[in-house]
Amino acid sequence: MLGITFGFGSMVMATGLGFAGLVHAEPRLHTALKYAGAAYLLYLAWRIARADSASASARRPIGFVEAMLFTWMNPKAWVSALGAAAAFTTVGGDLLWESTLIATVLAAFCLLSAAVWAGFGTVIGRYLARPRARRVFNVSMAGLLVLSLIPVFW
């Protein structure tokens, strides 16, 4: 949870300190990121739908650095970070202070939401101990992830 939190906070800082400006200056980069992110989410949906419940429980959780890097590969996190930088920074303002404030607030809420997700995951995991229930859940979640991409391609 801390790796995801620090990864997201550093991503918000990076966007606030310049990456958002690069995306605004080169609109094709925005389009490329949008479709690359959508492709990644389709791949993720495929992996979720095909996940084997037995092998998933045998794997060790990812570590701090892995979680930070995972966050930097998450297209939804990039969209959130870019949107926050565009919405909450001011022209001519103190970019370092604004970016630090935005990153701190969003990282705090990231940690809170990661803790809630982990708690729900633990509770839901008990109900999904049976392979059939986990399979139905995984396919349902993969389908919902694919449906969430409709606005990207519309």
If the chain, 154 residues long, is cut into consecutive pieces of 10 residues, what is the mean pLDDT of each piece? 94 85 76 78 87 65 87 84 82 85 95 94 87 91 91 79
Write the secondary structure of the chain as one string of H (helix), E (strand) and C (coil): CHHHHHHHHHHHHHHHHHHHHHHHHCHHHHHHHHHHHHHHHHHHHHHHHCCCHHHHHHCCCCCHHHHHHHHHCCHHHHHHHHHHHHHHCCCCCCHHHHHHHHHHHHHHHHHHHHHHHHHHHHHHHHHCCCHHHHHHHHHHHHHHHHHCCHHHHC
Write down the pLDDT at residue 57.
Answer: 56
Quick one: pLDDT at residue 34?
75
pTM of the full structure: 0.65
Q: Which two tokens stand for residue 8?
A: 């997201």
pLDDT for position 16: 84
At 130, the amino acid letter reads: R
Residue 55: predicted pLDDT: 55
* Domain definitions of the chain by residue range: 2-153
